[in-house]
Amino acid sequence: DILYLLQDMREFELYGTVRAVVSVCDSMNYITDEEDLLQVFRLVSNYLDPGGIFIFDLNTVHKYRDILGDATIAENREECSFIWENDFDEEEGINEYDLTLFIRREDEDLYEKYEETHYQRAYSLERVEELIGEAGLKLEAVYDAFTLQPPKPESQRVYFVAREVRHRGKWYADQTEDEKEEETV
């Protein structure tokens, strides 16, 4: 059974530990403050079982700078149409994109218009690796999206695989009384 929870990942709480945490669809890029990203990684580490695995993806700096950049993407489909306008601030590493959606109403030939603004941050792979370590996780691998190959300069999305490692300040159910005492000294 899976317990689904809707929470802000910068302050999520679980009701125990888990064997794995998986985050996809560039969710981590929505964390635009580096300290907040570190906090997310620390929370993941806290709620992982000993040796538990954390898998997440990120869009790369290359994708924001060279692919999306200041591009406008538009598609006209049967059930919906959209306009996606990007504006990448390379100095800040923030991609702002405005989405205008036209979604067809059921049983009608009318479309409703919706507008959204999204902000995502481009993180260097090296900085993400450092934050993973600072959070008490061990980086196991980084892959070019949908492959088992290492990232390339032209990678648009990468997957990180990190593992929980025992560290001071985290309580473990299998700790001996002596180990628990050492933690408090």
Report d(CA 98, CA 84) in Å as an integer: 6
pTM: 0.87
Report d(CA 142, CA 117) in Å as an integer: 30
Contact 63, 125 (CB under 8 A): no
pLDDT digits (tens, 9 = 90+) for 114-171: 999 999 999 999 999 999 999 999 999 999 999 999 999 999 999 999 999 976 666 6
Burial class of 117 by CB neighbour count within 10 A (0 to 12, 13 to 18, 19+): exposed
Of residues 174 and 18, more confidently modeled: 18
Contact 67, 122 (CB under 8 A): no
Q: What angle do CA 17, 23, 27 make, to 5 degrees?
A: 130
Q: Which DSSP string corresponds to 66-114?
A: IIITT-EEEEE-SSEEEEEEEEEETTTTEEEEEEEEEEEPTTSS-EEEE
Domains along the sequence of the chain with CATH:
18-60+122-184 (3.40.50.150), 63-121 (2.20.25.110)
pLDDT digits (tens, 9 = 90+) for 70-90: 999 999 998 999 999 999 999
Mean pLDDT over 44-60 rounds to 97
